[in-house]
Amino acid sequence: MSQQAGVPEPDPEELLAAVERLLDETVDREESIYLEAEDLTVTVPIRFGDDSPQATWRFNGGVNVDVDGIRGPLREWIEIHEEASDR
């Protein structure tokens, strides 16, 4: 369970599928996504892996997000990264 938010940890497969859908949708968008937050704290892994150190990002205000890229399964990129890390 997440200690900061008090909510259960997400299922990794469900989270990955949600991120893939979000990336696909945002690559297709021609407009920015605007987020406004007040005292939002997000813990982000610095690299892949269960023992990865965590970075803490804090947001207080607005941010525009533009996504530019090629659609494709995030899962394949993660697998390529993991294979390269195992070498």
Q: What rounded mean pLDDT belongs to the chain?
A: 79
Tens of pLDDT, residue by residue over 40-80, are 998 988 887 778 899 999 989 998 888 777 666 667 777 77
Rounded to 5°, the CA angle 72-78-80 comes to 95
Statement: residue 2 has pLDDT above 50: no
**Of 54, 57, 22, which is closest to residue 40 (Cα–Cα)?**
57
Segment 2-12 shows an average pLDDT of 68
Contact 33, 26 (CB under 8 A): yes
**Three-class SS of residue 52?**
coil
pLDDT at residue 56, rounded to an integer: 95
The residue type at 61: G
Residue bearing the bigger pLDDT, 43 or 86: 43
Statement: residue 14 has pLDDT above 70: yes
